[in-house]
Structure 1
Amino acid sequence: MTFSLVARCAETGMFGVAISSSSPAVAARCAYTRAGVGAVASQNITDPRLGPFALDLMQGGMSAHEAITGVRDQGAFIEYRQVLAIDRLGQTAIHSGPNALGIWTEAAGVDVVSAGNLLANENVPSVIVSAFEDSAGHLGDRLITALRAGLAAGGEAGPVHSAGMQLCDAVPWPVADLRCDWTEDCPIEAVATAWEVYKPQLDAYVQRALDPREAPSYGVPGDA
């Protein structure tokens, strides 16, 4: 019921996940990033424990491939799960269990990996990967471009209702965590609109956390 991608910006070291589904609040349950470590999407009859577990393994020194092997070895009911990972070097790995729902496929490229289940067709992940590789600019922009391309290629077999994008950079919290948890309209466009608003303020929000004395003003009434 989901299609997603996890990716790395080779220039900045930033990691990100973008995801969409017919299920509610998909990003709240499926998207995981950790600065300096990597990014993971855990989907298809989701076990939210698998994302942090895979990141812990990579933080301990494992590659994405080794971490996914660890997930296969230790995860519960792993035959039902789909887990995508990218590590700090841009290496990728995917586990797709044989009990994944409907049409499920996966694809990997340079600094990006994509997978989905209950898809409209088997080409969706490869289209997502190609769109990411052909894009440029901020990682958030590239993730939105790739997710839009996946939807245009057919996306899920039914209508999608939720979407999200999470980014991490040099601080131990997500620098962007944008979600549309439910809509009858397009959730990907809702997240894209939120990103347009948030992107110019991203660095300021980080600076306010690190040292508010050096941060720009809030631009609200009464703020000098």
Structure 2
Amino acid sequence: MTFSLVARCERTGMFGVAISSSSPAVAARCSHARAGVGAVASQNVTDPALGPLTLDLMERGTSAAEAVAEVRRQAAFIEYRQILAVDASGVTAIHSGPNALGIWAGAQAKNVASGGNLLANDNVPRAIVDAFLAAQGHLGDRLVAALRAGLAAGGEAGPVHSAGLKIVDRLSWPLADLRCDWTEACPVEAVAAAWDVYRPQMAAYVQRALDPRAAPSYGVPGDE
């Protein structure tokens, strides 16, 4: 029901997750990232607890591969789960249990891993990884390009209805956390449009949180 990617920007150290699904509010359950630690997607008959568990393990110093292996040992019903992880060194790992739904597949490279279930074909994750590696610019731009490539390669077997984009940087809260929880149109394009609007304002929102005295104008009535 889902295709996604987790990624690290080698230049900035940012982490991100981009995801889409036929299910509602997929990003609320499946996208997990922690600044300085890594990013995780926990999907397919989802257990949202597996995302924080994997990040906790990586924060203690294990690699993505070691963390995913430990989650496989600890978690109940792991045969139903998919987990994608990338760590602070760019190491990636994928677990797909044998009870993953429909056509399922994964692909990975340094700094990026992609996986999905109920896919239109098993080439979707490879198309996502290749697009991420070929894309230029901000991590968010590359995540959007990769998610679009997955959709163009076939995406899910049926129509998708929700999508999300999460990015973390040096702070305890996400730099960006954009979601389309349900639409009959294209959720990937809805998130891409939100990113186009949000990205030029992103640094200002960070500045307002850190020191509002130095923040730019709010641009609302009565603001001077």
TM-score using structure 1 length: 0.99
> CA offsets, 1:16-51, max 9 Å, x none?
000000000000000000000000000000000000
The residue matched to 1:5 in structure 2 has which SS?
strand
Q: Counterparts of 1:157 and 1:213 in 2: how far apart (Å)? A: 50
Letter in 2 for 1:12: T
User: Does residue 141 of structure 2 align to residue 153 of structure 1?
Assistant: no
Letter in 1 for 2:92: T
Deviation at 1:221, TM superposition (A): 1.3
Stretches of 4+ aligned residues off by more than 3 angstroms: none
Q: Is the 8 A contact 1:110 1:133 kept in 2?
A: no
Q: Identify the residue that residue 3 of structure 2 maps to in structure 1.
A: 3
Computed over aligned residues only, the root mean square deviation of the Cα atoms, in angstroms, reads 0.5
> CA offsets, 1:88-114, max 9 Å, x none?
010000110000000000000231000
Q: Identify the residue that residue 47 of structure 1 maps to in structure 2.
A: 47
The residue matched to 1:98 in structure 2 has which SS?
coil
Q: Is the 8 A contact 1:6 1:113 kept in 2?
A: yes
> After the TM superposition, which residues 1-224 of structure 1 pair with which residues of structure 2 at under 5 Å, given as runs?
1-224=1-224
Q: Counterparts of 1:13 and 1:186 in 2: how far apart (Å)? A: 30
Letter in 2 for 1:211: D
Give identity over the alignment, percent: 74
Deviation at 1:143, TM superposition (A): 0.3
Q: Counterparts of 1:135 and 1:110 in 2: how far apart (Å)? A: 15
TM-score using structure 2 length: 0.99
Deviation at 1:79, TM superposition (A): 0.2
Q: Is the 8 A contact 1:2 1:44 kept in 2?
A: yes
Q: Counterparts of 1:11 and 1:127 in 2: how far apart (Å)? A: 22
Q: Counterparts of 2:29 and 2:142 in 1: how far apart (Å)? A: 22
The residue matched to 2:175 in structure 1 has which SS?
strand
Letter in 2 for 1:145: A
Structure 1, unaligned stretches of length 5 or more? none
Q: Counterparts of 1:99 and 1:61 in 2: how far apart (Å)? A: 30
Q: Counterparts of 1:89 and 1:213 in 2: how far apart (Å)? A: 36
